[in-house]
Structure 1
Amino acid sequence: MVTGIACRRSDDLTYPQYLKITNSSMIASLKLMIIQTRLLTLVLFLVTLNACSPSGETGSSGKTKAVTQPSPPVEQADDFPFAFDQVSKNVWVMHGPRELPNPENKGFMNNPGMIKTSAGLVIIDPGSTVQVGEHVLDKIKRVSDQAVVAIFNTHIHGDHWLANQAIKAAYPEVVIYGHEKMLDAITDGEGDSWVELMDDMTEGASSGTRVVGPDHAVNDGDIIKIGDTTFKIHHYGVAHTHTDIMIEVTEESVVFLGDNVLSKRIPRMTDGTFQGSISSINRILESKAKVYVPGHGPTGDHDMVDTYLNYLMLIYDAAREAFDEDLDSSDVITITKKTTTAYKGWYGYDDLLGPQGAQAYSEIEEAEF
């Protein structure tokens, strides 16, 4: 037996050979680790990029993100919040505000009317300024695409007819009817006075309004046929003014009263008379129409007209009582404050009750002497 010498097989490796193989394995492992590290870094980068993207629907947590939707467009407020109300088959009325002309309403305060005929649209009292007329035209087009062929103006007060200007500009061939005395009053400058008054009361909001008055005169009993519709004119002398007409649309059983009758509003009577107004109202009630349209305030039936008529009679009767008892005109209000309490909610009551009693007293006094 040989001692001190290690025995090895022919396939055993020498140390240099082993070291060489070992180093090669380590290098390969390091290369693999570097590749894995780079792949991991790339994956993390892509995950982070996806989470931060504005178009992404999920975050790194995996939770669904809310997607912001565009806000719906905001509707613009209507700066003329009035519309035409249908009062019969072919008649509409726009009921204006009860307050006096001011910068906000641009003078609008009356009740424009619209009648459909086979020949086109007919407008009653389109309003107080050119600006109001343009708004009224816009609302007309929401009801009908017919052309406007005629206008009726009920009396000389400009809050009812200065909007003719806008209608005439849109429809140059339109015919405008008014009482013959209204045409005379405009010739004498009353229309220009109303333009100035509106400009003052609206603080310039009606600027640009000019006089476009009636071009066809009418009087009591006149019949005007427009297409398939008949318009009958009623004028009974001085009532609210000396220029008043009431327009009866016979096929519709509708009467436009102008300012001869108001609803829920105390009248200004300085251009008319109590006796004339009372007489005119009693006569128009003989038409027995189904619908009555006041110059201001809600449309109604004969009860609405009766309510207004009753107010005028209460004022006149109080003035008669004061006169008969040899009281002064300033004493009439003491009576009317007791007899007219049902009308305290009407616009203008506190301001006009006293002056109206004095006016009625003056009428009675004048009639006596």
Structure 2
Amino acid sequence: MKRRHLLLASAGVAGVALLPEARLFAQQAQEFMEGPAVADIPAQQLSKHVWMIYSPDGFPTPQNRGMMANIIFVVTSVGVVVIDSGASLQIGQMAIRMIRKVTDKPVVAIFNSHYHGDHWLGNHAFVKTYGDKLPIYSLASSIEKLKGAEGNLWRSLMERWTNQSTIGTKVVIPNTAVQHGQVIQFGDVSLRMHHYGTAHTPSDLSVEIVQDKVTAVGDIAMTNRIANMDDGSYPGTFKYYKALMAATGEQLWVPGHGRARPDLLKTYGDFMAGIWEPSLKAVEDGKSEAEARAAVMKDPRVASRAKTMDGFDGNIGKYISLAYLEAEKVAF
């Protein structure tokens, strides 16, 4: 029997999991247990300096072991800068292996786009390899969020969703706050920070790789996955897109989920507008949420995605409801 299974079986004997000693034992056991390795995904070059480890899945499962979000890295003259580190220690370790196939330069910094765990739990692997002095950048609001219960909540959720595949991952939160408009130089590459209010969350950091005309946008836009809008805003998303495009001009937009595209903000913005605009009109016309849902589902911007978008069936009803609730606040 493998060590992990032996420990878990021992912890469950005769119902001792209910005892304080058993809980302490389980906590101590987790200090040295680690889940299985994640299969290698070779990095793809997007531009002169920018590479991406593409995640084909948009949601965590026991089969993909939590590999659900893209990992982006920038090879500069002074080292490698990682933008979003993945959902676990094991995913971060895989990313390090893939980076080393591209360059022998060390990782010198990490940026986390927001506080959802699939974008930062991999930090553990990088500090384990490169030391706890490694700069990890994010917006101050993300750091504050993760200092509370949010960090451990995401670690626990990822373990549950992957049938414990991510066990061994420790919460390593960003240690350096950045601000909108700030430019950080890494040798021959300049990274510019962008934040224009609430879109996917109140803490969405987009990182522009200036010389390459490439911008990593986190989860404010996705290629073919319906985004979680629990913490977000529909009109805030449209405002963010408009301001970001005005500030950067034409870019290759690299999402946290899906393929990079130069038209990403337009195509995903059209889909989001297909949810928002019928919902807002329904509220203004005094119609019910059910009537708003019917209108959204008939909108061609939404209907055209219904059969192909990941997570559509399981999430569209919820996100129409969120749009309707936000529209009530906007309209009144």
Q: TM-score range by the shorter chain?
A: 0.7 to 0.9
Moved more, 287-296 or 142-151: 287-296
Please state how far the C-alpha of 1:336 moved relative to its aligned partner.
1.6
Q: Secondary structure at the match of 1:292?
A: strand
Answer yes or no: is 1:296 the counterpart of 2:296. no
| Mapped partners of 2:182, 2:201: distance in 1 | 19
Q: Which AA in structure 2 matches 1:278?
A: F
Answer yes or no: is 1:113 the counterpart of 2:72. yes
Answer yes or no: is 1:89 the counterpart of 2:48. yes
Query: Pick from 276, 281, 285: which aligns with 1:325?
Result: 285
The residue aligned with 1:253 is 213
Query: Pick from 307, 310, 314: which aligns with 1:347?
Result: 310
Answer yes or no: is 1:100 the counterpart of 2:62. no
| Mapped partners of 2:183, 2:82: distance in 1 | 16
Does structure 2 conserve the Cα–Cα contact (< 8 Å) formed by 1:108 and 1:128? yes
Moved more, 268-277 or 331-340: 331-340
Does structure 2 conserve the Cα–Cα contact (< 8 Å) formed by 1:240 and 1:260? yes
Q: Secondary structure at the match of 2:304?
A: helix
What are the residue-to-residue correspondences of 1:72-83 with 2, within 5 Å?
Answer: 80-83=39-42
Q: TM (normalized to structure 1)?
A: 0.77
| Mapped partners of 2:235, 2:227: distance in 1 | 14
Q: Secondary structure at the match of 1:217?
A: strand
Runs (4 or more) in structure 1 with deviation over 2 Å come to: none
Please state how far the C-alpha of 1:222 moved relative to its aligned partner.
1.0
| Mapped partners of 1:231, 1:237: distance in 2 | 19
Query: Pick from 326, 329, 332: which aligns with 1:366?
Result: 329
Change (3 A) 1:278 1:160: same
The residue aligned with 2:239 is 279
**When the two structures are aligned, how many residues end up with a matched partner?**
291
Change (3 A) 1:79 1:153: closer
Please state how far the C-alpha of 1:200 moved relative to its aligned partner.
0.7
The residue aligned with 1:193 is 153
Does structure 2 conserve the Cα–Cα contact (< 8 Å) formed by 1:332 and 1:354? no
Does structure 1 conserve the Cα–Cα contact (< 8 Å) formed by 2:44 and 2:52? yes
The residue aligned with 1:153 is 112
Q: Which AA in structure 1 matches 2:257?
A: H
Answer yes or no: is 1:209 the counterpart of 2:172. no
Query: Pick from 63, 87, 93: which aligns with 1:134?
Result: 93
Does structure 2 conserve the Cα–Cα contact (< 8 Å) formed by 1:318 and 1:357? no
| Mapped partners of 2:59, 2:195: distance in 1 | 26
Larger radius of gyration: 1
Report which structure shows greater RCO (CA 8 Å, sep ≥6): 2
| Mapped partners of 1:353, 1:184: distance in 2 | 30
What are the residue-to-residue correspondences of 1:297-316 with 2, within 5 Å?
Answer: 297-301=258-262, 303-316=263-276
